[in-house]
Each structure stands twice: as C-alpha cells, then as structure tokens.
Amino acid sequence: MAEPRSALRPDLAVIADHVARGSRVLDIGCGDGALMAALRAHGCDVRGIEIDPDSVGRCVAQGLSVVQGDADNHLVDYPDGGFDYAVLSQTLQTTARPDRMLEQLLRVGKRAFVSFPNFAQWRTRAALMFGGRMPVTRALPVSWYATANIHHVTVADFRELAQEKGARIEGEWFFSGERRIAARGANIRAEFAVFELGR
Amino acid sequence: MTGDSKICRLSQPLPLDGGSALIDAEIAYQTYGELAADRDNAILVCHALTGDQYLADTHPVTGKPGWWERMVGPGKPIDTSRHFVVCANVIGSCMGSSGPASIAPDGAPYAMRFPVITIRDMVRGLVGLLDALGIERLHAVVGGSMGGMQALSLAANWPERAGRVLVIASTSRHSAQNIAFHELGRQAIMADPNWRQGDYYDCDAQPVAGLAVARMAAHVTYLSEEGLTAKFGRNLQDRPEKSFGFDADFQVESYLRYQGSGFTKRFDANSYLYITRAMDYFDLAEEHGGRLSDAFAGTAARFCLVSFDSDWLYPTSESRHVVHALNAAGAPVSFVELSAPHGHDSFLLEHETLDRVVRGFLDG
C-alpha cells in the first residue's frame, strides 16, 4: 500500500511517517512527487507546487495534482488554513525570504514540515575554518557561485526563527547521511534536519 | 458541406442565454472508438473558434487530416482504443450544426436573424448531444482555446457531467485585447460590400475579402514573433528583390494571404461573427456572481490546465487565474506552463511534454 520507505529520501520518509492519515497536504517543491505518492497511499488529499515543468509533467502522469510555480511567488495564491500540513523539503534555504516563507507555510497549513541542510554541521565548519573556502560537502555539493542555496541556515538559526515567528516545534529529526542521529549536539552533528511546526 | 457527420436533432428547444430558444437545433458530430457497456469511457473534445467535428479524420472540404489527429487515435494520448471520443461542431458554426447559414423555419437562411449565442449556449447544445447519446458522465472533457472555455463552462454549469477537465491554452474570460482583435475581424467582414448585412447566401459574390482579412489578423495572434521570424524572417517571396509595389513581396505576406483565402473556402463569414461574439461575451466569473472560485464551488472533478510560454493571446497568467480560483474552491488541479516557440497554436503542434501530460491526466 505505502511506497517502500527505502524509496524515499530520509527526510521525506520521516514526514510520510508523521502526517496523519487522510490529511490534506500541500507539498511545496514536490519534485517528481515521491512524497506525494507515499502520502496518497496513506489516504491523504495531497497537492504539490513544483517549478520544473518536466517534473510537473511526471507528477501529472502519476495522477498527482501539481501546479507549476515557485514557492516565493505562488504560495500566496493559496487560501488560509486550506491544508492540515504544508511541507517544504530542502527548499527553505533557496527561497528569497525564508522568514516570510515560514509565515506562509503556517498560514496555508495548520502545521508545517520543513527540512533543510544544516550549515553548522562539522564538515561545513571545518571546510570554512581550515580551508577558508565556501564549503562543498556531501550535503552541499554545489560551489558557492552555482548553488541555489542563497540563505544558508543552521539548526540553531531555524529554532530561533521558529520562536520569533511564534511557531511551536512539534517534532524534530536529525540525520547524518541516511542515519538518524540524536537531537543532542545536532547543530554540529546533523547534516540534515526535519522540523514539524505548529502555530 | 457536412461530409458524413452524424446529425443529432435536439428534441427540446435549446434555451439560450440571450433569452430566446433555438427550435429543432441540430448538432453535427463525429465519434471515435467504442462506448463501453457501462458508458463510462467517453471523452468530449471541444473545438476552437474555426475548428469543427473533424477531430481525427479527413476534413471533407479541405481534404486535410483532422485538426488534432496527432493527439487522438489508437494508442495516442487521447486513446481511442480505450475511450469513446466525441467531437461536435458548436452551434453558431457552419459544419453541419445549427448556425446563421442554416435554414430558419420560414425557409430562408437565418443569416443575422440567428440569435446571438454564448459559450454556455454552445455547451448546452453539447450537453443535449450527450443526453441523446446516453452519456450521463464523461470520463473527461478536453479543449484548447475556445474549446477550453467550453470545458470550463461545462465544469462550472454541469459539474456532475465530467470527472476530469483538461483546459489547454485558454482562459476564463476574454480580455480587452482579445475582444479588440475580434472586433477588428468583425469590422473587416462587415466592411466587405458583399457581406450585405449578412444576407449573402443567395448571392454569387460572397464576403470572402472581409473574411480573409479577419482570418489574417487572427492568424497573427495565434503565432509568435519568434515563430514568424524563424519561419519567414524578412525573406522575399519568389523574387530577387522588392517590387516597389503592393504585391506580396515578403514570404510572410504571401503566407497570410494564402491562409486568409484558404479559410474562406471552409468557413462562413456570419459564423465568424457569431462565434467571436460568443467568445467575447465569455466571463465565467461574471456568470457566477463575480467570483471565479464560486463557479467551481462543490465540483468533484479533477482539473488540469496547460499554457504555453509564447502564447500572448491566452497567456500563462490567464491559466494561473483559473488555477488560483480552483485552489480556492478546493478542487484538485494541476497546471503546467510548457515551453514552445509557436505561440497560441502550440497546442495543436508536436510537443512531447504536452502528450505526456494529456495521457497522464486522462489515465492517471
């Protein structure tokens, strides 16, 4: 029934496991629709936004409802509280204003899942500290001049932003590669983080 | 000039938005594939302004392939080996359905006595045809351009009649620019002395000059600057240099003249007036109290909209406007803007992603 968990990226697998069955979900930056397909198999009513037209085409071909658009400009078109969950995976750091994005997520969704690469992970720190260069790591594989990540963020930064915006952290998960790691020392140990926010 | 189309005569007068009704309205249509025993595999394809029911077979007047033959057929994105595909000539047109060239009850052609119709009237006629064919609920309604308007109108006004709604290169309302181009065409027709206030059916001289100019102006709006430049540039037509006269020196002039005169062989000038008027009157929000999302309140259908980045006649913003309203109404909707160089006409041309989206949306 559900997609095999191994087929999903670890952050998406966490999200798929924690979205209540039968929820209404908006997946912002849904790519090829892997999370959407998994959530649909959970009986969710799931919609997507995706910037790449070929990816939208592949989603539509799976019977998924996906609107071509970008998170910065087209999320404002969605009504308040229209979804139980808004999902933004690996996209926050590419948006023009991550703070406003967080407001939008919690406007359209009663809850939000956000995943992002943690810029304070030790590999990144080491690359900067000892190399003196913008880090190119497993989690951040693209050089500074070509990366889409225009607003790097750390676990500590994100927690602070969530607090500033009055969002409640309902859950948090941390990963090093594919491996789930403890919350303790996450700001230095985690390559990726997933947060569940409530308002 | 109806070829071998089937004709459905509606048993009830067809009520029209203008307040009158069309008695003994006839709808000419073609079908492809087989209707399943439970009648759940029908797809209605709606045609554009100058289109007709010859969707996927040879046109009886021009001898050319059907207008969407690349999309419709066995194994094609609209797969006639699995679906029963219906395409009907809209009322007001001239390929066998009731229109201004049809004979009125008094034995003379309607001409300008034909009532002004709307997109919703056209769809009301199509719904009458579906009733006659015993199709309660379509698997899908599909349309590009004016066909997309009909698909949206059907979804808004007869929401129980279609499970899927596919709208390509279209809009929920005609813009000032769209109306302006149509008015240009209408004035060209009406300025032709052979138009004779529409009463030209018994005359030898037909208003072909006016109709050709209308078509030429409209044809430019279906293309793009990029497409025209790539196809013609400033190339001269069969001559080494400019003639210092008003012959078709440029290839693009020659092409437009050919398009214009070819069109007059298959289309009725009065039909052009009536159908452009119907398109100009189209404003789906206005029909539903001013809010487009109210037009789709409670719909159970799935929607898919497609636009093309070079289409300046029905630009992406128009499709997004519809998507926004469908989202507000809570309807499941997909939207994709495809890249193609050919302007509005891109929806009729080869496009791999379009094929994948159409197939995927209809089958998924």
Whether B50 is covered by a domain: the verdict is yes
Count of domains for chain B: 2
| Cα-based distances in Å from B276 to B23, B92, B280 | 22, 10, 6
Residue at A180: amino acid letter: R
Q: Which of A113-117, A131-135, B261-265 has the lowest mean pLDDT?
A: A131-135
Q: Is the pLDDT of residue B81 over 90?
A: yes
Last residue of a domain, one of B246, B275, B304: B275
Residue B3: predicted pLDDT: 56
Cα–Cα distance for residue pair B17/B121, rounded to 1 Å: 7
Whether residues B336 and A79 touch (CB distance < 8 A) is answered with: no
CA-based nearest residue in chain A for residue B336: A68
**pLDDT score of A3 more than 70:** no
Query: Residue B119 falls within a domain, yes or no?
Result: yes
User: Could you report the per-residue pLDDT of B45-65, keeping only the tens digit for each?
Assistant: 999 999 999 999 999 999 999
Contact B292, B325 (CB under 8 A): yes
- A53 vs B302, B324, B353: nearest CB: B353
Alpha carbon distance A104, A76 (integer Å)? 7
B342 and B264 share one domain: no
Is A82 within 8 Å of B356 when comparing Cβ atoms? no
Say whether B353 and A54 touch across the interface (CB within 8 A): yes
The helix or strand, by DSSP H or E, that contains position B17, with its residue range, turns out to be none
Count Cβ atoms within 10 A of the Cβ of residue A6 and give its class: 0-12 exposed, 13-18 middle, 19 or more buried.
Answer: exposed
Measure the CA–CA gap between B323 and B303, rounded to whole angstroms.
9
Query: Smallest Cβ distance to A63: which of B320, B333, B364?
Result: B364
Closest chain B C-alpha to A17 CA, distance in angstroms: 23
**Structural domain spans, chain A:** 5-118+148-198
Q: Which residues contact A123 (CB under 8 A, 6 or more apart)?
A: A135, A137, A138, A139, A191
pLDDT 10s digits, A150-197: 999 999 999 999 999 999 999 999 999 899 999 999 999 999 999 999
B158 and B120 in one domain?
Answer: yes
Distance (Å) from the alpha carbon of B297 to chain A's nearest alpha carbon = 14
Confidence of residue A1 (pLDDT cuts 50, 70, 90): very low
Residue B113 included in any domain: yes
Co-location of B271 and B159 in the same domain: no
* Percentage with pLDDT > 70 across chain B: 99
- d(CA A67, nearest CA chain B) in Å: 4
B1 in a structural domain: no
Using the Cβ of B209 and the Cβ atoms of chain A, whether some distance falls under 8 Å is answered with no
Q: Å from A39 to nearest chain B CA?
A: 15
Q: What angle do CA B247, B251, B255 make, to 5 degrees?
A: 90
Is B357 at the interface with chain A, CB within 8 A? Answer: yes
Is B321 catalytic? The answer is no
Q: Which residue has the tokens 């939207």?
A: B335
Assign domain A5-118+148-198 one CATH number from 3.40.50.10440, 3.40.50.300, 3.10.450.710, 3.40.50.150.
Answer: 3.40.50.150
Domain span holding position B184: 178-275
Q: Are B340 and B351 in contact (CB under 8 A)?
A: yes
- Looking at the structure, do residues B289 and B323 belong to the same domain, yes or no? yes
**Which of B248, B275, B302 is at the close of a domain?**
B275
Q: What CA–CA distance (Å, rounded) separates A93 from A99?
A: 10
Residues B15, B155 within the same domain: yes
Taking the mean position of all CA atoms in its chain, how far away is CA B320? 20
Same-domain pairing of B191 and B105:
no
What is the reported pLDDT for B152?
98
**Rounded to whole angstroms, what are the CA distances from A169 to A84, A87, B14?**
16, 14, 60
pTM for the whole structure: 0.93
Asked whether the predicted pLDDT for residue B83 surpasses 50, the reply is yes
Helices (H), chain B: 119-133, 146-157, 176-190, 208-222, 225-231, 251-264, 269-281, 284-287, 292-295, 316-328, 352-363
Residue B2 has pLDDT above 70, yes or no: no
Query: Is B98 a catalytic site residue?
Result: no
Average pLDDT over chain A, rounded to whole? 93
Same domain, B60 and B207: no
Contact across the interface for B360 and A63, Cβ inside 8 Å: yes
Q: Tokens 């007709």: give the residue.
A: B52
Return the bridge partners of A48, or none: A27, A66
Give the pair of three-digit tokens for residue B94: 């001239």
Query: Are B27 and B73 part of one and the same domain?
Result: yes
pLDDT digits (tens, 9 = 90+) for A17-56: 999 999 999 999 999 999 999 999 999 999 999 999 999 9
Nearest to B57 by CA among B46, B48, B49, B69: B69
Of A53, A56, A61, nearest to B364 by CB-CB distance is A61
Residue of A32, A59, A67, A75 best to disrupt the B interface, most CBs of B under 10 A = A67
The reply to whether B30 and B168 lie within a common domain is yes
Q: Is residue B145 among the annotated active site residues?
A: yes
Three-state DSSP state, A85: strand
CATH code, domain with B242 = 1.10.1740.110
Across the interface, of B327, B330, B361, the residue whose CB is closest to A60 is: B361
B131 by Cβ neighbours in 10 Å (0-12 / 13-18 / 19+) ranks as middle
CA distance linking residue B280 with residue A85, whole number of Å:
41
Are B37 and B125 found together in one domain?
Answer: yes
| Residues above pLDDT 70, as percent of chain A | 97
Instruction: Find all residues with CB under 8 Å of B236, minimum gap 6, and list them.
Output: B242, B249, B250, B251
Give every CB contact of residue A91 below 8 A, 6+ residues apart in sequence: A28, A29, A71, A116
**Chain B residue at shortest CA distance from A63:** B364
Q: Taking all residues of chain B, what is their mean pLDDT, rounded to a whole number? A: 96
For the cut 90, the answer to whether the pLDDT of residue B153 exceeds it is yes
- Rounded to 5 degrees, what are φ and ψ at A169? -85, 115
Contact A22, A43 (CB under 8 A): yes
The pLDDT tens digits of the residues spanning B17-38 come to: 999 999 999 999 999 999 999 9
Is B128 contained in some domain? yes
Q: Please write the tens of the pLDDT for every residue from B270-313.
A: 999 999 999 999 999 999 999 999 999 989 999 999 999 999 99
CA distance B135 to B154: 14
Q: Return phi, psi of residue B95, to 5°.
A: -110, 30
pLDDT tens, B193-223? 999 999 999 999 999 999 999 999 999 999 9
Let me know if residue B72 belongs to a domain. Answer: yes
Tokens of A55: 């990816």
- Which of B326, B46, B324, B333 has the alpha carbon at shortest distance from A60? B333
| Spatial contact of A196 and A85, defined as CB atoms under 8 Å apart | no
So what's the pLDDT on residue A6?
55
N-term to C-term CA, chain A: 32
The answer to whether A112 touches A197, Cβ cutoff 8 Å, is yes
Beta bridge partners of B42: B84
> Are both B79 and B141 inside the same structural domain?
yes
Give the domain-ending residue among B249, B275, B301.
Answer: B275
Two tokens at A30?
């849904």
Q: What is the CATH number of the domain that holds B64?
A: 3.40.50.1820
Question: Beta partners for A168?
Answer: A198
